Structure 1
């Protein structure tokens, strides 16, 4: 695995880490929910006393307990002791990326000496273990309630230390350093590795008071608090019948079961302050859609997606196959070995035969999963399979550089794979949603037609339709406003949520009136997205019939912000809310706050620099732009932005110098040549002014702004014939533009 910490993907990395945002609430309240005109409004957290522990469950459910014991859920998190710690702490050293980590024991405890947040080695005591196989991680305690996961982990199969990201150099000041946000247990891990977690993050002090009822993923992490269930059993005895107080039971419908597993097996953003088993998954979380860099453009796994986002793409999910059809719910192991798992449903004579897979029986090539569930290694040694269960498509690989199992397994190129596919199977005999989604995600010309067809095909899987809604924004969403307004009322929550996100980012505010009814949407994630989209609307502008629900959703929105405010992305969202409200001071404060927890985030710093510029704080703007250049000297747009600042301050020489550097860094950016020409002209350097425009024209011979600027330049300096030739081209390109027609008449009058 190799990551490159550049300006262009820092924000993607932040989004990547918005996957497990923990729960937050300061005081214990009654565990209940209320309804407001059909809108689910959950209250606060469940008291820890309602979780009774696995010993209570074992008393009546011995077989299930036996399966669970020793499972990944059981070993999700443990106190570090001689039984739980599997790693080599017998005075062992491990060196990676120039950092030496020394693992040793002292006074009955386990310790590591390694690089800390100041770049200096320190001794840290191991407080907890995380996981059991194929790797085990270790957690240490930091000040202010922060717990951090070491970057060095123990390979439990090969019995050796290894670096989770061996090809990725991270310096101590980066957010991704193990001692900072990227490997922070409180927000990145706790919600899914323990039971009834409350993150309890304090925004003002950047501190945590994280609590949980049970240290690992216990029975009650999935089935809900057992207090009421046990009381009912005691009260009713032999007359006991299910009272509906437990979750994930034998009566749970397949898709509902998948959604309940998804809470932890999904890349997602959190929208509730505390998960309390009320409502549905989409009242608490919203999944990552099929987008770069989390997925390949056809929907195959690229970065970690934690299974759900892949599985809901599949025909399996569509046909009511659930997680427990393949996995034992308690041991998590597969129910059957080899192809027997698949032939539960798929006729063996048809599919588990050479006439289907064209491989010798008993070989790896004859295994269903190797063709239909290829995988990748994550976290160094953890192989995870793609759960979208797709047919290999070498033809798409040739078009879009997506992977296919044929080439991957045989270690040959995509041309070979496609030729072999055609010889064995002929042409592709069914249309997959990726045939319409992939061209749109990769911005192919005219791909919007296929996206529209996909979105409007209600028979397609929701995540594909919602992802197409996002992909359509690549083709200027204002061209499809009427379509987007229609999708606000789509039956699919994912489609509604994606539509709200796209419209919220447009300059066309005509959607406001269409958003207001969605303040009463049945799913909290959509309501909160809608409130954010309405940020430009002052409370006095809210119609009377929506004022009550507006205030309720406002509370949900700020709970959402507070829950995610230990992420840079959460703080930026708060800042953008205030900017939409027209409060630039609060917006600046928000971006400064984001940089306080990630000082090398150049996305945030560049936005902040532009805000300083807009607020006429030119000194701070200049300082911010310069810091971005120092941290990422190859990123051309920063030179361009600072040059515009210098130009406004009449520092023309400095502006020209910066624009020349911008040309080096991004030679295809037309606006750089245009502005460089203006500055040279200002200095009466007519030769370089002309040269800059000519260079720009070589990149795009029909660029309107460059053509006009060059024509004006020639006209201004009495090169009438050159000017006329260019204006003639402009008139040919834009015959309905009266300005160009008039310009040509003016030039003709000069002879």
Structure 2
């Protein structure tokens, strides 16, 4: 679902750090206040969905909750730009940064910004909205087509003595030229898609594909009561009708299930609670995860009390987003981190630490932990390694390390992990000890931890070494990944990651492990298993996935629909074909929610190509390229479609046009090389393969094809050099190993062949022929 650069949305969706309530308030007071789309805080928009009443309707019955909410960042997550809401200095300041220009001033009562537009030329834009509050405030510009874009200049709202009260560029010193998808006018800075759902209430994107325009609506401009409680009209009616007092939902159509009463009494022996509590499905953590997770939207039909996977597709612990051990790397909004923690496993929820209406912590610093943990025991130097003073690190310092995003916004990792400087040595992941002791080595920190706590490292997050091996393609990861996948005590987000990583290590044991995970209680683990199986032949996919066609969770069904799109329905029994037709219709509808995005169009095209609906696939790819002509991945897919339908010349033309716009796209060079080979233009093809290999050395496939092409043209030495250089970067790639093994055997070079065969046998453990060859060569 997500493009490779989607991770950067954290740079402008930065305010989702507070939490709202998990239970319904006692009653709502009716209010007739409505306004236009650009409504004030708490006031119902004229275009609100039926059943919504606005946060202003809550005040008379819930004054304390309303007062707390009014002071929260949620209530100020978005506002119309007025002197009362704008915190920045628009008195004519100018700033230059990374080749970008900004001038901020007032004119005719409006807030103006002079900066580079979509064509790179200076232009003046009117600020329509503010975005967020602390420690920075961003500003939005609304265009005539309904597109709302996030300006690159933000105001540091911190006090001046802390370095604040200044304008800064959200990308720091990184130049973002006009035309780049990260430029403020580009698709990665589009509020309607990237940020709106989590900064307003009851949002509907309302993208019109025919006119490429937005008609986005919401019930409230900011995050209001109904963002978490759902539409309140029924509750308002309940409050007025004494006859309905027995209604357990108090007039709401849905509600977050309440957790059973928890006993967090600490065990004197450990200083931590001995007991846990059962976690109800769709609990408050799932409610908060709607905005505090790294995820994509698959349905706007959200209701409290549902699992997140009914409306959103969450990321797993993917490389680029998370460190190998699960620590946050890019901005991931807390959910996936928290779900790795022992606290989550024991039943702790967001509102155990955060007040649900104000969003504030219930106590400051490490004091928040003493709600459940024995303060004296954990403050002792035997545990902390530091004598307790005012300047000593506390629980938060060591167990919730900080990363700073958007230049000025520090975020705590919510996985509550034990510091592991020993893993810094082994796999290069960061650790909290060296975050403070930057002048010391990881070895020094690891030795110190061992003196305090002995040689055995504890903790729930013990999968870092396995994931590191997996990211390197090392087959030694296989058994470790299988063990984590099969262990239901492994956090589900890590279990799903293990299943996904196993895609690179096919074997009979992996097949069985994945089959078991199709029945996993966590929907995202099932999603990971479906993605793994999607790499198998279509008929085999159907055999394995037939039982999930009617899975109760939308995210799983969507993934199954994609995986089975290549099946020919006329060859199936009528009942099974009908079930798949229904699934395919639902899958297409779900994917159309992202048809304002080139990657969304690419997903639709892939879906249609699987169904052999080539004309519809072509329509989607062309539509995606109209959205962004530089989206080279769509050009590559379109060229492949043309090739598959006998239009080779058009394929070449498409790729050449794409490279004229985006000359550094390796995939387009590679695809053009393949197209030129089909036209027997071998010299030109070699040049394209060479370019692809140089531009993307991390893609072993490009180097392999380049090496094969060289060899086919009798350039054996050059071919071998390409294979060897690529193998140094990808030591376990089976295609490279097989190519070099074949060369060594052909040359009778047993010394070169033996280690290659041994490594290939480890990569392909079920290949008996390779195993016999490896054994034979090793004994030579």
Q: TM-score scaled by structure 2?
A: 0.81
- 1:316-358 Cα distance to aligned partner (Å, 9 max, x none): 1111111111111111011011222101111112112222101
Name the CA shift for 1:197/1:690 in 2 (closer, same or farther; >3 Å). Answer: closer
- SS in structure 2 of the partner of residue 143 of structure 1: coil
Offset of 1:709 from its aligned partner?
6.1
- Residue in 2 aligned with 1:191? 197
Name the CA shift for 1:17/1:474 in 2 (closer, same or farther; >3 Å). Answer: farther
- SS in structure 2 of the partner of residue 295 of structure 1: coil
Offset of 1:553 from its aligned partner?
3.1
For residues 303-314 of structure 1, the aligned pairs below 5 Å read 303-314=330-341
For 1:67 and 1:672, locate their aligned partners in 2 and report how far apart those are by CA, in whole Å. Answer: 63
Name the CA shift for 1:252/1:105 in 2 (closer, same or farther; >3 Å). Answer: farther
Offset of 1:293 from its aligned partner?
1.0
Moved more, 598-607 or 652-661: 652-661
- Residue in 2 aligned with 1:418? 446
Offset of 1:128 from its aligned partner?
0.9
2:652 to 607, 622, 630: 622
Offset of 1:391 from its aligned partner?
0.1
For 1:177 and 1:213, locate their aligned partners in 2 and report how far apart those are by CA, in whole Å. Answer: 29
Offset of 1:221 from its aligned partner?
1.2
- SS in structure 1 of the partner of residue 75 of structure 2: coil
For 2:507 and 2:738, locate their aligned partners in 1 and report how far apart those are by CA, in whole Å. Answer: 23
- SS in structure 2 of the partner of residue 430 of structure 1: coil
For 1:618 and 1:250, locate their aligned partners in 2 and report how far apart those are by CA, in whole Å. Answer: 58
| Contact map agreement 2:745 2:753 (CA 8 A) in 1 | no
* Higher relative contact order, structure no. (Cα contacts within 8 Å, ≥ 6 residues apart): 1
For 2:419 and 2:403, locate their aligned partners in 1 and report how far apart those are by CA, in whole Å. Answer: 15
- SS in structure 2 of the partner of residue 112 of structure 1: strand
For 1:260 and 1:608, locate their aligned partners in 2 and report how far apart those are by CA, in whole Å. Answer: 39
For 1:555 and 1:117, locate their aligned partners in 2 and report how far apart those are by CA, in whole Å. Answer: 37
2:621 maps to 1:591: yes
For 1:729 and 1:547, locate their aligned partners in 2 and report how far apart those are by CA, in whole Å. Answer: 49
| Contact map agreement 1:52 1:225 (CA 8 A) in 2 | yes
- 1:171-226 Cα distance to aligned partner (Å, 9 max, x none): 21122211121111111111111111111112232211101111111111111121
| Contact map agreement 2:256 2:305 (CA 8 A) in 1 | no
Structure 2 unaligned runs (5+)?
A: 14-46, 159-163, 261-278, 729-735, 759-766, 774-780
- 1:402-441 Cα distance to aligned partner (Å, 9 max, x none): 1100111110332222222222222234253433642454
For 1:381 and 1:112, locate their aligned partners in 2 and report how far apart those are by CA, in whole Å. Answer: 21
Name the CA shift for 1:399/1:248 in 2 (closer, same or farther; >3 Å). Answer: farther
| Contact map agreement 1:14 1:568 (CA 8 A) in 2 | no
| Contact map agreement 2:689 2:705 (CA 8 A) in 1 | no
2:456 to 428, 435, 455: 428
- SS in structure 2 of the partner of residue 596 of structure 1: helix
Structure 1 unaligned runs (5+)?
A: 1-9, 21-45, 682-688, 713-722, 742-751
Name the CA shift for 1:110/1:359 in 2 (closer, same or farther; >3 Å). Answer: same
For 2:91 and 2:687, locate their aligned partners in 1 and report how far apart those are by CA, in whole Å. Answer: 58
| Contact map agreement 1:272 1:556 (CA 8 A) in 2 | no
Q: Which has the larger radius of gyration?
A: 1
- Residue in 1 aligned with 2:31? none
Offset of 1:271 from its aligned partner?
1.9
2:187 maps to 1:181: yes
Q: How many residues align?
A: 689
2:505 maps to 1:471: no
- Residue in 1 aligned with 2:72? 71
2:602 maps to 1:575: no
- SS in structure 2 of the partner of residue 83 of structure 1: coil
- Residue in 2 aligned with 1:12? 4
2:706 maps to 1:672: yes
Moved more, 620-629 or 138-147: 620-629
For 1:510 and 1:457, locate their aligned partners in 2 and report how far apart those are by CA, in whole Å. Answer: 26
- 1:681-737 Cα distance to aligned partner (Å, 9 max, x none): 4xxxxxxx343245357656995435656887xxxxxxxxxx666899699969997
For 1:275 and 1:454, locate their aligned partners in 2 and report how far apart those are by CA, in whole Å. Answer: 32
RMSD: 3.3
2:564 maps to 1:534: yes
| Contact map agreement 1:519 1:527 (CA 8 A) in 2 | yes
For 2:126 and 2:696, locate their aligned partners in 1 and report how far apart those are by CA, in whole Å. Answer: 48
For residues 676-691 of structure 1, the aligned pairs below 5 Å read 676-679=710-713, 681=714, 689-691=715-717
Q: TM-score scaled by structure 1?
A: 0.84
| Contact map agreement 1:575 1:586 (CA 8 A) in 2 | yes
2:229 maps to 1:223: yes
2:293 to 242, 266, 269: 266
Moved more, 240-249 or 310-319: 240-249
For 2:623 and 2:313, locate their aligned partners in 1 and report how far apart those are by CA, in whole Å. Answer: 25
For residues 130-149 of structure 1, the aligned pairs below 5 Å read 130-149=131-150
Name the CA shift for 1:552/1:725 in 2 (closer, same or farther; >3 Å). Answer: closer
Name the CA shift for 1:611/1:419 in 2 (closer, same or farther; >3 Å). Answer: farther
